[in-house]
Amino acid sequence: MSKYFFNILFAILVSVTGYGQKSWQQDELFTVNGRVVTADEFIYVYQKNNQNNDSAYTKTDINDYFDLYKNFKLKVEEAYHLGIDTSKAFLEEFNQYKKEFIKPFLSEQKALENLIAEAYERMQREVSASHILISVNDFQNPDDTLKAYQLIDSLREIAIENPENFEQLAKKHSQDPSARQNEGDLGYFSAMQMLYPFENAAYQTPVGEISEIIETSYGYHILKVNDTRPAKGTYKLAHIMLRFPRGANSDSYGAAKIKGIHAQLNGGANWEDLTAQFSTDTKTKNQGGELPPLQFGQLPPSFRPVVDKLTPGEYSQPFASPYGWHIVKLIDIEPIKPLEDLRPRLKQQIERDPRSQIKKEEIIDNLKTRFGYQLNEQQYDLLKQRADTTLSTGNWQALDDETLRSEDLLKIDGNWSSTGEFLDFVDLKQRPLPNRKPLEIFEIFFDQYVEKLLLDYEADQLAKNNRDFRQLMREYKEGLMLFEVMEANVWAKAIEDSAGLLAFYQQNRDRYLYDARVEAVVYNMKDSSFLDELKKEAGKENYVILDTVISLVEKNEVDKLIKGSSPLFRQYEGMKINLKYGNGINVEHVVEQFIQKGAAKSSINLQQDDAMGNKLKITLSGNSKKLLEHTFNQESALTLQVNEGLFEKDDLSVLKRVKLSPGDTTLTMNGRFYWIDMKKVLEPSVKPLSETKGKVISDYQAELERQWIEKLREKYPIKVDRKTLKKTVEYLEN
């Protein structure tokens, strides 16, 4: 049941859409036993179930659905009456799914989805940028931080005036250690490869222009966007590497050696052989030098200009990195996969990335504003004063101070939360944190507490403030309740009430009739060239498809024969196995082998003949016309196909082309030749219950449901507001 409803509710979840709600739509449409159903609820359900069916918005269709919806609500009312919605099992299942379905509606989940979509959109494009960094750290005093900001601000003004001199500014002023060599040039990069504020600036600044000042954990930056280009995808590379000697950043011997390897490649030497023989990268040398797949911006800087010039299958000239000499080969570039394929990886990356925390802080600030967050500053300061070393040891003494607990600490949407509630939260969370200062621990716990209160309150308010979520939860809850009452009153009852089922079948036998049937053999042939031969064989009473004698000394041949023949007696029903054996044969072993391979014990006939000595004769035979397939299909399985039995016209398409009467006939259809041998025709007759039980159960369930609804209509009065119904129908029609 859970999986069934999960699939249904997932479909509901992805299909919900907002609409302009009218005030009258909150009016009562009808009541069941006094329980109100609004016009809005009915409109929501009708539009959801007919969103891809424009022809359903007629007065007749809407009124028909209205009748069905009243029946649905009668069943739900019975479920309420039985207390299904308050049972422990129901509440556990409902609350579990509510936790899942609520996520897409919450600010935190929406922010995560937005970050995933943003990252994927940015992955389609690579940005080439240069930057200038003025370092700032947490240990600097405010004056030094201000000076750093003023310096980056002045450099930005200069860069705006002369953007073509940005590289020289970077080389002279940037405190990024690499700027002396690369003049601040970061090359091409894509999403998830830079700090989030830096990435934002790179993707939001036009080519050739200077960004606003960017603050990161490294300090203050400005950047210039040099170029953008479509991202190619993920690069699959292999390399041959000669590491520099320990402590060295160059190697003349290695340079000569790598050139020699390159010359061998040019001469036609095998890449994998040279990699295994010469590469000093022990992790890759025995795998053809293959490196983990990477996006362009994830490649080592020294690799990028080299790889950028290669096409798949090409290898580079030798080049040096800070670690050694390389020849790199571009194996392939895999295009960027669809978002749904990358979503799990992107979600994991984003949740680990500081950008998720930045977004969470924004969410909490927005929720504080939205819900009128207010802090009792005096009480907060008093708590801070109590943040002593016992908080670092995981045993905060303030937890036991009853004078603190009753005071209000903070207010959300007019509702105060006491200090005691915060202290209980700390009691659950605290543990020894000897490397953190008490005040720092206090602030972490307090921020976590406020975050939890705000997010929980947002979730609690969803049903009140979000129509789609409110309707979704109502629909899911009532769907679960409906399942329980239908199971008890209709579905299980129809299956378990064998006497009632039999009585229903006997009262309605005329519903379960065979059409006219023919007892026939239908031969589907590749052509008519072997029809005479087939008719001759079909006239026989028995068909032998295997008749062979094997000596005991050929034990392996016996096993092989049994194994090889096993598909035959599984494929053809009614096969007989005759074993004629001499006194030197362990026939019980042979019988056991046949049974293990799927033969029925009753199909095996034993015939001892001492004159056969150590020999065994195996004969496989039967009287089914399907055995003729084995005879005629030696060269192709499509030469002959045989259907034998009782058939209605609709059972085989070829029977629709002939008159059902005793005798034989031939015809050609769809490039095949048919010979149909009809033995006799049976007039329409009642199907036995065993052959139509599924249909009878379905009809019996429908009858039980009809009777049950009649009783519910007597039990629970329905009152319809005709004016609201008229408005609802007109609204849906238009």
How far is residue 21's CA from residue 564's CA, in Å, rounded to a whole number? Answer: 72
pLDDT value, residue 18: 45
Does 556 lie in the same domain as 593? Answer: yes
Q: 555 with 523, same domain?
A: no
Cα gap 415→446, rounded to integer Å: 18
On whether both 402 and 550 belong to a single domain, the answer is no
Q: How confident is the model at residue 103, as a pLDDT? A: 80
Report d(CA 489, CA 486) in Å as an integer: 5
CA dihedral for 625, 628, 630, 633, sign (positive or negative): negative
- Per DSSP (E only), the strands in 190-265 are 214-216, 219-230, 234-243
Of 602, 622, 642, the residue at which a domain comes to its end is: 622
Q: Which two tokens stand for residue 620?
A: 């496989």
Quick check: 173 pLDDT over 90?
Answer: yes
Residue 189 in domain: no
Burial (CB < 10 A; 0-12, 13-18, 19+), residue 552, is middle
Pick from 464, 488, 506: which residue ends a domain? Answer: 464
Largest CA distance in the chain: 116
pLDDT at 717 over 90: yes
pTM, whole model, 2 decimals? 0.57
CA 703 to chain centre: 39
Classify residue 265: in a domain, yes or no.
yes
Over the stretch 197-224, which tens digit does the pLDDT of each residue have?
Answer: 999 999 999 999 999 999 999 999 999 9
Dist CA 528 CA 672 (whole Å)? 9
Strand 214-216 relative to strand 663-669: parallel, antiparallel, unpaired? Answer: unpaired
Same domain, 520 and 550: no
On whether the CB atoms of residues 599 and 577 are closer than 8 A, the answer is: yes
Structure tokens at 338: 């669809």
Q: What angle do CA 38, 41, 42 make, to 5 degrees?
A: 95
Mean pLDDT in residue range 405-423: 96
pLDDT tens per residue across span 74-121: 999 999 999 999 999 999 999 888 888 888 888 888 889 999 999 999
**The CATH number of the domain where 642 resides is what?**
3.10.50
- Residues composing the chain: 734
- In 3D, which of 236, 255, 235 has the Cα closest to residue 244? 255
| Dihedral, 721, 727, 733, 734 alpha carbons, nearest 10 | -170
> Does residue 470 lie in a domain region?
no
Contact 676, 666 (CB under 8 A): yes
Q: Is 643 left (phi over 0), alpha (psi -120 to 50) or beta?
A: beta
- When pLDDT is averaged across residues 461-475 and rounded to a whole number, the result is 88
Round the average pLDDT of the chain to a whole number and report it. Answer: 92
- The count of domains in the chain is 4
Instruction: Work out the burial of residue 54: count CB atoms within 10 Å of its CB; fewer than 13 is exposed, 13-18 middle, 19 or more buried.
Output: exposed
Contact 327, 262 (CB under 8 A): yes
Task: Let me know if residue 673 belongs to a domain.
Answer: yes
Distances 32 to 67, 75, 519 between C-alpha atoms, Å? 13, 10, 56
Task: Kindly give the residue spans of alpha helices, DSSP state H, lying in 82-137.
Answer: 88-102, 107-123
325 & 377 share domain: no
Q: Are residues 277 and 305 in the same domain?
A: yes
Q: Does one domain contain both 246 and 327?
A: yes
Residue 533 CB-density burial (10 A; 0-12 exposed, 13-18 middle, 19+ buried): exposed
Instruction: DSSP letter for 436, please.
Output: S
pLDDT at 249: 63
Domain annotation covers residue 590: yes
The pLDDT of residue 22 is 75
Instruction: Tell me the residue range of the domain where 251 lies.
Output: 234-335
- Asked whether the predicted pLDDT for residue 16 surpasses 50, the reply is no
Q: Are 183 and 340 in contact (CB under 8 A)?
A: no
Q: So what's the pLDDT on residue 4?
A: 40
Q: What are phi and psi of 198, to 5 degrees?
A: -70, -45
How far lies 505's CA from each of 210, 486, 488, 500, 689, in Å? 83, 21, 21, 9, 7
Whether residue 586 sits in one domain with residue 455 = no
Rounded to whole angstroms, the Cα distance separating 193 from 187 reads 12
Angle subtended at Cα 492 by Cα 491 and Cα 495, rounded to the nearest 5 degrees: 95
Regarding whether 437 and 319 lie in a shared domain, the answer is no
Rg of the chain over all Cα atoms, to the nearest angstrom: 41
Q: Report the sign of the C-alpha dihedral through residues 70, 71, 77, 83, in that order.
A: negative
- Domain end call among 428, 444, 464: 464
Helix (H, G, I), strand (E, B) or coil at 598: coil
pLDDT on residue 135 = 95
Same domain, 638 and 532: yes
- Residue 460: is its pLDDT beyond 60? yes
Band of pLDDT at residue 614, cut at 50, 70 and 90:
confident
Q: How many whole angstroms separate alpha carbon 518 and alpha carbon 679?
A: 7
For 559-598, how does the pLDDT look when each residue is reduced to its tens digit (9 = 90+)? 778 877 777 777 787 889 999 999 878 888 889 988 888 8
326: CATH = 3.10.50.40
Mean pLDDT of 280-295: 95
Same domain for 668 and 524, yes or no, is: yes
Is there a single domain that holds both residue 392 and residue 408? Answer: yes
E strands, 397-439, are 408-412, 415-418
